[in-house]
Amino acid sequence: MRLPRSLSGWTMAVFGFLAVVLGVVGLVSPDTMLALLGFEVPQTRDPGDYTEVYLAASSMAAVNMGVYYLLAAAADYRPFFLWTVPFRLLTFTVFTVLVVTGAAPARFIGVGIWEGVGAVVTGAALWWERGRPAAR
């Protein structure tokens, strides 16, 4: 796999790498991921509690998304970088609203901040690179 060739590519690669790593953590140790997000980790689960199933699905989605980001960064596919900015800002908004309304614990705000900061940094890098040819 190639290293990113642009600043915006590096922002995508960092986000993609973190998504893969955190997705793997969620798959390998769901309780660790729940604790990182600020959720209560019960000693035992009641029948019908699908928390771990949902977390496995979310974690696998994070792994897949992280790989997409890494591949886009390796290809320096700037249109993809641009597409992610508004959707990451939407994700920031949704996760922040979940915390503000009390539907998620306060520590969950870290997910929103991660998405929001990542969107702004990628957007700023793309703005800075505008008009510059993509590296070959």
What is the per-residue pLDDT for 51? 87
Decide if 120 contacts 11 (C-beta within 8 A): no
What is the per-residue pLDDT for 97? 97
- Min mean pLDDT across 24-38, 100-114, 122-136 is at 122-136
Whether residue 136 is predicted with pLDDT greater than 80 in this model: the reply is: no
pLDDT tens sequence across 42-66: 888 888 888 889 999 999 999 999 9
What is the per-residue pLDDT for 38? 84
Output phi, psi for 98, to 5 deg.
Answer: -60, -40
Mean pLDDT of 15-35: 95
Torsion of CA 64, 70, 75, 81, to 10 degrees: 80
- Supply 11's token pair: 């922002």
Domain map (residue ranges) of the chain: 7-129
pLDDT tens sequence across 77-126: 999 999 999 999 999 999 999 999 999 989 889 999 999 999 999 999 99
CA atoms within 13 A on the CB side of 6: 28
